[in-house]
Amino acid sequence: MPTLHLPILTQGHFDARKRDMRNIRLTIAYDGSNYVGWQIQPNGPTVQVAVEKAIKRLTGEAASVLSAGRTDSGVHALGQVASFQTESAIPIDGFRKALNKFLPDDVIVRDAEEVPLDFHATFSAVQKRYRYVIHNCRTHNPFLRNYVWHFHQDIDSAAMHEAAQELVGKHDFRSFESHWPNKSSSIRTVKEVTVRRQNFCPLWLDEADRQPSDGNAGEFIWLEIVADGFLYNMVRAIVGSLMPVARGRWDGRDIRRILTAMDRSAAGDTAPPNGLYLVHVDYE
């Protein structure tokens, strides 16, 4: 009887078990401090490269990973959504567990699920939630330097919240877009903006309504904004434009003026990236 030669399983022991093409959606959290952003760049490490390398090590496939949003250098994520297609037969929960073994410590897959082939992490998204965190304290906290914008002067968070309501609705937000135009259209619909103080700073929480403090007692100010899409540096430009409101120099009429000007120079400065978080992405 001839000798039977069996194939050797390699590349995570899953390559030899192929099946039809699958579409995998990942929910990813990461500390963006050591990355030049999500998207592949020639000038430094990116989160996308880290994820694609982990998938390559696990499945042996060179997957192209799509994302819900291209976060900038130094920006963090609690609920970034990415998708990729694979022929691997790895059980779905195996993707989460195994990918985390191959990812660096500052990137983690929180969840993995199989979705229809027509799901697209970018184009299937219907709205996103971002959070910007300001530490309003006279003493700088060195342990938070990569995760908040430290601002030592007094801030009127209630005035910020009131003025920010001018942004709610469907508007042309080109005044809050760096290097316009970056998209085919700068019209976006902002569904919600809240500015509130927190007594504590649970940066890892992905829900917006978390024990706001009374009045102006808390040290941490959270700006939460939900929209059907965001422009380049839009949230950071909004935060920078609300800071003169917080200091009593502008009010809601100025935010309305900036919107109608449709000119980036009419708005405030761009807030630092380290206080910004992509919190959640909603799909149909």
Domains and CATH numbers, the chain: 18-115 (3.30.70.580), 126-283 (3.30.70.660)
List the catalytic residue out of 72, 93, 156, 251.
72
Q: Using alpha carbons only, how large is the chain's radius of gyration in Å?
A: 22
Residue 16 has pLDDT above 60, yes or no: no
66 forms bridges with which residues in the sheet? 83
Helix (H, G, I), strand (E, B) or coil at 93: helix
State both tokens at 247: 């200091």
Q: What's the length of the chain?
A: 284
* Higher pLDDT pick, 2 / 144: 144
The verdict on whether 72 is a catalytic residue reads yes
Tokens of 234: 């839009």
Give 179's pLDDT tier (boundaries 50, 70, 90). Answer: confident
pLDDT above 70: residue 154: yes
pLDDT band per the 50, 70, 90 thresholds, residue 221: very high
SS3 197: strand
Worst-scoring range by mean pLDDT, 111-115, 197-201, 229-233? Answer: 197-201
CA nearest to 91, candidates 117, 120, 58? 58
Mean pLDDT confidence for 134-156 = 94
- Mean pLDDT over residues 233-257, rounded? 97
Q: Do the beta carbons of residue 68 and residue 77 sit within 8 Å?
A: no
